[in-house]
Structure 1
Amino acid sequence: MNAPFLHIDRPATAGETSPKSGTATVALIVPVHNEEAAIAPFLAAVRENIDPLKDAGVAFEFIFINDGSSDATLERLIEAQRTDRRIQVIDLSRNFGKEAALTAGLDCCDADAAIPMDVDLQDPPHVIPLLVEKWREGFEVVLAKRANRSSDSFLKQRSASMFYRVHNWIAQQKIPHDVGDFRLIDRQVIEALRSLPERRRFMKGLFAWVGFRTATVEYKRDQRIAGQSKFSGWRLWNFALEGITSFSTAPLEIWTYVGATISALSFLYGLLIIAKTLVFGIDVPGYASLLVSVLFLGGIQLLGIGIIGQYLGRVYAEIKQRPIYIVRRTYEGTD
């Protein structure tokens, strides 16, 4: 039986240097799926921004998670590893999705802090020093907020804004507006995330749920350097449903009020029919109104059953207790 609370503490040990004041290691966690053209530009841009931090006592490592790529992504990563021993590659047995790949990266991370980011450079590497600076000031979570999303289409901007508004309106745990996975999280936060047993993972919500002291830096979201986004409109819709159902039961609870409202209106309408019958005699209702009523109530019932099905499907996935991901092979950096 799980404990009713979780206590995570890292007491200082003899000879240990605080990651916020002395030598520290930061892992860049990068899920990739069919991104062979982006690997080299990403590494070049990131190294340009992180190498100067070595003099400030911050050492970086790369954790790439190959999420079932069907192109030459894995080969490009292995080639890069031969020239940079800081690179670690986790090759998953198939495509499990970005949330699972990100979880795999966090599970394999032994650094003092981690920065999840995309390989397409829409998460600009020049923000990394700003994240580290805030972290060394004492914050356990440093969010990277998209202050400018002009690189996204109008439809994507509007749909994203609507998702944040709807989610934060109905969910108990709010998520920061215009903040993706790109952020810095301290070792304590990593341990808290690793302790969560759920398998259907909405990482933006989990990042917010664990809490900790948080700071925010803003940046302009750049254009993708190569390849295409793996999130189609349908996948983004399902992703939004995952977020809402993971952190809110409002879609289930609302049907209590919908049912009560319909029942009350039906009762009032029944009283109206009785009154008309007593005053004007028997009134035979029309076929159209009867058909509309039946179709309306049938649609309401099917919609309610569908929402219950969304939650039931997630419960079914959880109770099977299948692993979130399967690692085919891990490629460690060599000296």
Structure 2
Amino acid sequence: MTKKFTYSVVAPIYNEIGIVDEFCKRITDVMDSTGEEWELVLVDDGSSDGSTERIRELASVNKNIRPVIFARNFGHQIAVTAGLDYARGEAVTIIDADLQDPPEVILDLIEKWREGYQVVFAVRAEREGESWFKKFTASLFYRIIFRITDVKIPLDTGDFRLLDRKVVDVMNSMRERHRFLRGMSAWIGFKQVGVEYKRAARFAGETKYPFNKMLKLALNAVTGFSYFPLQVASYFGFASAGLAIIAIPVVAILRMTGTQFFGGQATTLIAVLFLGGVQLISLGILGEYIGRLYDEAKGRPLYIVSEAPEDE
């Protein structure tokens, strides 16, 4: 029979050999202070810097640590998904291992959960140790997603949040491949509240979310929760058709009056390039959605585990 825990903490690990010891220590200090049973699910996402071996060593001396080892790298969102699959707690906290999200904030999330909230998300009031470009692009990302997606995702929130067991069970039933977990938890509903905190600088190592990965995450968010790109293609089509309808009588009148304002090949070339560009953009947008349908149709597992703990 599966043992029940009050709290689970899920943390994806990818090449964090310089951080994992301090992270586990701080998580242990925080969770022991609750006086409740807890577990730390560390999902190794195909690390190649020795993090995998270190996770095994930490688990051998700390019974609260449960390692889940991937067969290869599957990505951050999939690693978190695996952690949710293996978590056994009544309240499950998702947190990154880089210590930018202070483990001590988990106690604030737990307090709100005890008040009856089922999704408690951490809101970044301040961000230390990040460049102006990172802050600007992150702020722009959150606001664009908020504006164009069908689900209202809270601003300035990442995956750092606490989920009630009911919420976790619903999310575990949602098996789409291109995942945007903060959007999924917002879409589910339930009683939700935010807790502000100060985001710290990275403890060690380098960010695992450079600009290209943030862009991919944004694309997953938009295509997973909005038809806006398809609507933009339609708007371009209607705008082009409207211009053509207006241009036809204008050009006819100018030609009849002998005006050569639209003479030569330049105008024709510009019109062809514009319409060709609109068509290619529209095809690209359709391709993104069709590609995601193709991935879902293949029905492959979200991840492959080489090692996982047995339920007690």
Q: Same fold (TM over 0.5)?
A: yes
1:256 to 225, 229, 234: 234
Match of 1:141 among 119, 125, 130: 119
Is the Cα contact below 8 Å between 2:8 and 2:39 reproduced in 1? yes
Map of 2:6 onto structure 1: 25
| Cα contact 2:153–2:183 (8 A) shared by 1 | yes
5 Å-filtered alignment, 1:38-117, equals 38-54=19-35, 58-117=36-95
Q: Is the 8 A contact 1:28 1:63 kept in 2?
A: yes
| Alignment-mate amino acid for residue 192 of structure 2 | T
**Corresponding residue number in structure 2 for 1:304:** 282
Q: How much is the aligned-residue C-alpha RMSD, in angstroms?
A: 1.7
- CA distance 1:284–1:144, shift in 2 (3 Å): closer
Aligned residues between the structures: 309
Would you say 1:193 and 2:171 are equivalent positions?
Answer: yes
| Structure 1 residue 230 displacement after superposition | 1.5
Unaligned runs of 5+ in 2: none
1:131/1:217 contact within 8 Å kept: yes
1:284, CA displacement in angstroms? 7.0
Question: Normalization by structure 1: what TM-score?
Answer: 0.88
Q: Percent identity?
A: 40
Q: Give the AA of the match of 1:26.
A: Y
Q: Cα offset for 1:24?
A: 5.9
Given that 1:149 and 1:220 are in contact with CA atoms closer than 8 Å, whether structure 2 keeps it comes out as yes
Q: Which structure 1 residue ranges, 4+ long, deviate > 3 Å from structure 2?
A: 281-284, 331-334
Residue number in structure 2 paired with 1:159: 137
Q: Quickly say closer, same or farther: Cα 1:270–1:82, change in 2 above 3 A.
A: same
Cα distance change of structure 1 residues 281 and 184 upon mapping to structure 2, 3 Å threshold = closer
Q: Any idea what SS the aligned residue of 1:90 has? A: strand
State the 1:273 CA deviation. 1.1
CA gap of 1:154–1:287, structure 2 versus 1, over 3 A, is same
Amino acid at match of 1:274: A
Q: Is 1:228 equivalent to 2:206 in the alignment? A: yes
Aligned partners of 1:87 and 1:333 also within 8 Å: no
Q: Distance in 2 between the 1:47 and 1:59 partners?
A: 11
Quote how far apart the aligned CAs of 1:101 are.
Answer: 0.7
| SS of equivalent residue, structure 2 residue 17 | coil
Pairing 1:112-131 to 2, within 5 Å after superposition: 112-131=90-109
Could you list the runs of 5+ residues in structure 1 that have no partner in the other structure? Answer: 1-22
> In the alignment, residue 295 of structure 1 is paired with which amino acid?
L
Equivalent-residue separation in structure 2 for 1:328 and 1:250 (angstroms): 39
How many Å separate the matches in 2 of 1:292 and 1:281? Answer: 19
Tell me the amino acid that sits aligned with residue 41 of structure 1. Answer: E
